[in-house]
Amino acid sequence: MRTAVLEVLAHSSEPLMAKEVATAVTNGYPSLKPTVAVVRDALNSHISKGRAERESRQNAVWYTATEAGSKAAANGAEGTSASEGATADEPEQATSVPAGEEVAAS
């Protein structure tokens, strides 16, 4: 979802409000139905990572992608953590235990 928000922002030639981003995400990705609050959270996440900027003007908040955000959107890479990027198709990594030793049950 955050990737979709960044892609919409990066492909816009002008600043967008969170509501406009939410509408564009819904139109471009029919399987996603984000609320404005969820989109705002995603935008704030991108701001904290330097991929987007926020500007207040005319009693509204406008968002634009930074150069780093545009590059990330173009690469399709969002820099997700291992837990965010894992899929159900990927097996969990097993921790090896030397032969003859038991693993303590937690």
Q: pLDDT digit string (tens) for 41-63?
A: 999 999 999 999 999 998 999 99
The verdict on pTM exceeding 0.75 is: no
At 88-100, the pLDDT tens digits run 333 334 444 455 5
Asked whether the beta carbons of 49 and 79 are under 8 A apart, the reply is yes
Q: Which SS3 state, helix, strand or coil, does residue 53 take? A: strand
Two structure tokens written together for 40: 């705002």
How far the first Cα of the chain sits from its last, in Å, is 35
Residue 27, Cβ neighbours under 10 Å: how many? Answer: 9
Alpha-carbon gap, residue 23 to 83, rounded angstroms: 28
